[in-house]
Amino acid sequence: MSAQFNVIAPGVLATIQDLGRSRYRRIGVPQSGALHPDLAYLANTLVGNPVSTAVLEFFLIGPTLQLTEGSAQVALSGDFTAELRRGSKILPLTSWRSITLQAGDLLKIGPLVAGKVGYLAVTGGFRLTPVMGSCSTYLRGEFGGVDGHRLLAGSRLDLLAISAPQEPDRQLSQSAVAAVPGLIIAAETEGEPQQIRVIWGPQEDYFTSAARDLFVRSSYRISRDSDRMGSRLEGTQLDHDPERGSEIISDGIVPGAIQVPGNGAPIVLLADGPTVGGYPKIATVISVDLPILATLQPGRSICFRAVSTTTAEKLLRHHRQQLAALVEQIVPVATDPVIPAATLNRINLISGVVDGRRDSPEVPVTSDGD
């Protein structure tokens, strides 16, 4: 019997994503895929999945899921906490770990602390039919994932694994994750915008030199009007060179390209963005910084710094090495959090009188009955 989740609350913009589609841009189909592939990779690795396994991506507030049948091991990645309800007990969970769920368990995820996306992976993955070689949901095209839709309340997610999870739950320490830049976005300190590195072009020559100067000297804010297609930026308007105008004959676009339409307000195109476009692109975000930009919360300020392609390549190589070193630090969860019901009741009775166990994150600190 395979396991199944029932979607109790869908959260915000929760979609199935994997590494995205390749080779279909020529027919106008964007890449799609996880906005923060590193986080998706960590979630998959925590449950022993290959990197290409589809995961659940969610924005700001995660979904609440109930395992209605079977058992399943899931992993959480992103800057958030979650809670597991088993019967009348509540078990607080931190992210960056896997946990084995039993039938009836309710998993309530989020909200996000910093950053705006989080991921849930499940051992063996979800039962889905790939479309054009990928399970990624492309909302605008209404295909991929679960019938091309975002997660809906009352819908179901079938899991592929038919046997009960065998592996112990595993985790990464928050400090180990935080040591790799870009995985946990630090809270904004006053006057310190998040730096995003870019490579000039392909159409930087469509802007005045004053505009190019302003682009790297001023700061911008992530607009509320941002989604999987693009992040709109608020801030200094960028003037096009009047000799060249604000339109080009359409050419190719990739995620990270920063296009500037006639109103001068830059838009960073993301995974679900168009494959071609007719606005000049002043610069393109480098690969290691794109997941950061794509997942910053609205209102966060950023500044751009131009680097060379050589620097970008070195940064990418170094980042991949750091990620590889990070997954070496995955260890079994020290205390098995799934405490037998009898023990759980006893602890709860004790904690009701003397709350001496609060330091341990794995011990239930409250319950519905309290």
Partner 1 sequence: MVDHGVDMKHAPRFLNLGDSALTVEFGDIIDQQLVETVAAFDRRLNRAIEQGALCAVTETIPTYRSLTVLFDPLKNSPEQLQQRLFDLLAEPEENLDRKIRYWSLPVCYGGEYGPDLERVANSCSLDPDEVVDLHSTQIYQVYMIGFAPGFPYMGEVPEQLQMPRLKEPRIRVPVGSVAITGRQTAIYPWESPGGWLLLGRCPLPLFDAGRTEPALLAAGDRVSFRSVTPADFDKYAEAASAATLDYSTFLKQGTGQ
Inter-residue contact 16 to 137 (CB < 8 Å): yes
Closest contact distance (angstroms) between CB of 34 and partner 1 is 16
Closest contact distance (angstroms) between CB of 232 and partner 1 is 17
Inter-residue contact 145 to 55 (CB < 8 Å): no
Closest contact distance (angstroms) between CB of 291 and partner 1 is 13
Closest contact distance (angstroms) between CB of 33 and partner 1 is 13
Q: Indicate the burial class of 23 (C-beta count within 10 angstroms; 0-12, 13-18, 19 or more).
A: exposed
Cα dist from 100 to 54, 73, 133, 174, whole Å: 19, 4, 29, 20
Inter-residue contact 61 to 110 (CB < 8 Å): yes
Closest contact distance (angstroms) between CB of 142 and partner 1 is 8
Q: What are phi and psi of 228, to 5 degrees?
A: -75, -15
Counted residue by residue, the chain has a size of 370
Nearer to partner 1, 105 or 204 (CB): 204
Which residues face 221 on adjacent strands? 234, 301
Nearer to partner 1, 201 or 298 (CB): 201
Q: Where are the alpha helices (DSSP H) in the chain?
A: 37-46, 174-178, 209-217, 290-294, 309-327, 341-353
Closest contact distance (angstroms) between CB of 320 and partner 1 is 7
Between CA 226 and CA 231, with CA 230 as vertex, the angle to 5 degrees is 50
* Sites of contact with partner 1 (CB under 8 A): 22-29, 131-132, 140-144, 148, 199-203, 248-254, 256-257, 274-276, 281, 284-287, 309-310, 312-313, 316-317, 320
3-state DSSP helix/strand/coil % of the chain, to nearest 5: 20, 30, 50
Closest contact distance (angstroms) between CB of 179 and partner 1 is 22
Which residues face 303 on adjacent strands? 195, 219
Nearer to partner 1, 321 or 360 (CB): 321
Closest contact distance (angstroms) between CB of 264 and partner 1 is 20
Nearer to partner 1, 79 or 289 (CB): 289
Nearer to partner 1, 245 or 356 (CB): 245
Nearer to partner 1, 318 or 346 (CB): 318
Between CA 254 and CA 328, with CA 117 as vertex, the angle to 5 degrees is 90
Closest contact distance (angstroms) between CB of 316 and partner 1 is 6
Closest contact distance (angstroms) between CB of 136 and partner 1 is 12
Quote the CA–CA distance of 147 and 300 in Å, as a whole number.
33
Nearer to partner 1, 193 or 201 (CB): 201
Nearer to partner 1, 247 or 370 (CB): 247
Quote the CA–CA distance of 42 and 51 in Å, as a whole number.
9
Tokens representing 54?
């589809």
Q: What are phi and psi of 267, to 5 degrees?
A: -130, 125
Inter-residue contact 72 to 328 (CB < 8 Å): no
Nearer to partner 1, 210 or 316 (CB): 316
Nearer to partner 1, 101 or 282 (CB): 282
